[in-house]
Amino acid sequence: MLKNYIKIAFKVFRRRKFFTFISLFAISLTLVVLMVATAALDHMFGNMLPETKQDRTLGVFRTMMKGNGNISIGAAGYEFINKYVKGLPDVELVSLYEVDQPVSSFLRGLEVKSQLKRTDGEFWKILEFQFLEGGPITDEDERNGNFVAVINVATKERYFGAGPAVGKFIEASTQRFRVVGVVPNVPVYRRIPFADIWVPVSTSNDPQYRQGIMGNFNALILARNTSDIPRIKRDFRAMLRKVPLPTSDFREFYSEAETAFEERAREELGGVYNSDKDYSKTGLGSYASELTFLLLGAALLFMLLPAINLISINVSRIIERASEIGVRKSFGASSATLIGQFIVENLILTFLGGVIGFIISVIVLRMITDSGIIRYAEFHLNIRIFFYALASILVFGLMSGVYPAWKMARMQPVNALKGSVK
């Protein structure tokens, strides 16, 4: 029976080529937008090199002090992370790193601008960079203040061409570093690992960098297991009460251990930390949930509009085929059989539109990658996005096919033979 449904479906598609074209265009365009957006989100927040442990990694990205009409907001300080965050119980690793900053150097008389990030040795244990040459910055490099650097492929090609880079020297921020490793380019939207040049924190040219509970540092906290994340968040909040404030002008200190997605959700929806929120009860997961629902709602709304148009087209197809349906019902075809046939037809049409959309999405993502609009971006479709697209196709096909199929089932044979759908 399914084979016959498929044969009939393709005959119907060929008979009304204009309706078929409009349907395929609406389906493929909708899925292209959805897949490109999904690919972008997946590349920003999905588990992929070098962030392969995101399911058990938390970050400390922002702090806030408040009191007596004063508010100070910024990144965490070295002292806060080193003394308090690194003292959290029963975690696997804690890393601190400086927020990346632009640096200039000169190459053959021309100024070269790069993004430099100072890290400790734990940074390279939590993140899994693929080394094309050499190896990472180590704990010993950090302790001894060794002037060593890991660079990305773009920096290596800019300074050293196609030859090896390890063992050679590079200048950045008026300092000279020996290259110990080369890694692939990290896209700018991967804010935690992104940089052009990575060097030890202890090479900082700021003599006061170790002081202060607020400064220019972030932290990464690696849990032993995913199930430990809620406990670590509670321990982090409890630890904040032990942090002394630098002056009497401030009475409250806020921060949070959060995932990269939670941090982005807070930025988009919550702005800064809100002292009126009881983080011990709600946490920042509420922001992440809200953003997730907003994204899903936007996706469903975006699918709903073309689905409504497709429903109208499908109803028109039913009106056109009223006589055919009347004849089949007169010869004993059940409503369930006709509904099954129509839904199969619609799913086939949606699947064909999905294939076209998938191919166009690959082309669009490749064009975005090659354009260089987003620094070091490399968008592509993977197995996760494929299954998201497959789910979207099924939802789209059902959304646009159920009502017309139900309308078909209610048609009376006599009225259908007369060309009426009432």
**Residues 361-398 as b or e (16 or more Cβ within 10 Å = b):** bbebbeebbeeeeeebbbbebeeebeebbeebbeebbe
Q: Are residues 310 and 228 in the same domain?
A: no
Domain boundary among 203, 232, 250: 250
Domain boundary among 225, 250, 275: 250
Question: Helix 335-371 crosses helix 383-409 at what angle (to 10 degrees)?
Answer: 150
Query: Is 268 contained in some domain?
Result: no
Q: Are residues 30 and 102 in the same domain?
A: no
Burial class (CB in 10 A: 0-12, 13-18, 19+), 192: buried
Q: Are residues 231 and 317 in the same domain?
A: no
3-class DSSP state of 104: strand
For 177, left (φ over 0), alpha (ψ -120 to 50), or beta? beta
Query: Is 277 contained in some domain?
Result: no
Q: How far apart are CA 358 and CA 32, in angstroms?
A: 7
Query: Is 380 contained in some domain?
Result: yes
Q: How far apart are CA 409 and CA 412, in angstroms?
A: 8
Write the DSSP assignment of 26-94 as a string of letters: HHHHHHHHHHHHHHHHHHHHSSBTTB--GGGEEEEEEEEEEETTEEEEEEEPHHHHHHTGGG-SS-SEE
Query: Is 53 contained in some domain?
Result: no
Q: Are residues 10 and 92 in the same domain?
A: no
Between the alpha carbon of residue 356 and those of residues 348, 365, 371, 393, the distances in Å are 12, 14, 23, 12
Q: How far apart are CA 322 and CA 94, in angstroms?
A: 69
Q: Are residues 130 and 237 in the same domain?
A: yes
Q: Are residues 327 and 182 in the same domain?
A: no
Residue 29: its pLDDT value, please?
84
Q: Are residues 36 and 83 in the same domain?
A: no
Q: How far apart are CA 186 and CA 151, in angstroms?
A: 11
Q: Are residues 134 and 241 in the same domain?
A: yes
- 82 phi and psi angles, rounded to 5 deg: -65, -40
Q: How far apart are CA 77 and CA 66, in angstroms?
A: 16
Beta bridge partners of 150: 181, 198
Q: Are residues 109 and 233 in the same domain?
A: yes
Q: How far apart are CA 156 and CA 196, in angstroms?
A: 9
Query: Is 270 contained in some domain?
Result: no
C-beta of residue 102 within 8 angstroms of C-beta of residue 236: no
Residue 319: its pLDDT value, please?
63
Please state the separation of Cα 20 from the chain's center in Å: 34
Query: Is 176 contained in some domain?
Result: yes
Under 8 Å CB-to-CB from 276, ≥6 apart: which residues?
Answer: none
Domain boundary among 199, 224, 250: 250
Q: How far apart are CA 197 and CA 130, in angstroms?
A: 15
In degrees, to the nearest 5, what angle opens at C-alpha 270 toward C-alphas 266 and 276? 120
Between the alpha carbon of residue 268 and those of residues 43, 51, 72, 275, 288, the distances in Å are 18, 22, 20, 17, 10
C-beta of residue 245 within 8 angstroms of C-beta of residue 80: no
Q: How far apart are CA 92 and CA 221, in angstroms?
A: 8
Q: Are residues 408 and 354 in the same domain?
A: yes
Structural domain count of the chain: 2
Query: Is 340 contained in some domain?
Result: yes
Q: Are residues 206 and 85 in the same domain?
A: yes
Q: Are residues 39 and 126 in the same domain?
A: no
Residue 278: its pLDDT value, please?
40
Residue 343: its pLDDT value, please?
75
Q: Going residue by residue through the chain, which has 422 residues, state the pLDDT in tens, using 9 for 90 and above.
A: 556 656 655 666 666 677 778 778 877 888 888 888 888 888 888 889 999 999 999 999 999 998 888 888 899 999 999 999 999 999 999 999 999 999 998 888 788 899 999 999 999 999 999 999 999 999 999 999 999 999 999 999 999 999 999 999 999 988 999 999 999 999 999 999 999 999 999 999 898 999 999 999 999 999 999 999 999 999 999 999 999 998 888 888 999 999 999 888 888 886 555 544 443 334 444 778 888 888 888 877 877 777 777 777 766 666 666 666 666 666 666 667 777 777 777 778 888 888 898 899 999 999 999 998 999 998 888 777 777 777 777 776 777 766 676 666 666 655 555 555 55
Query: Is 134 contained in some domain?
Result: yes
Dihedral, 376, 377, 382, 387 alpha carbons, nearest 10: 150
Q: Report the DSSP pairing between strands 101-107 and 110-119.
A: antiparallel
Q: How far apart are CA 412 and CA 234, in angstroms?
A: 64
Structural domain including 366 reads: 2-47+289-417
Q: How far apart are CA 312 and CA 400, in angstroms?
A: 9
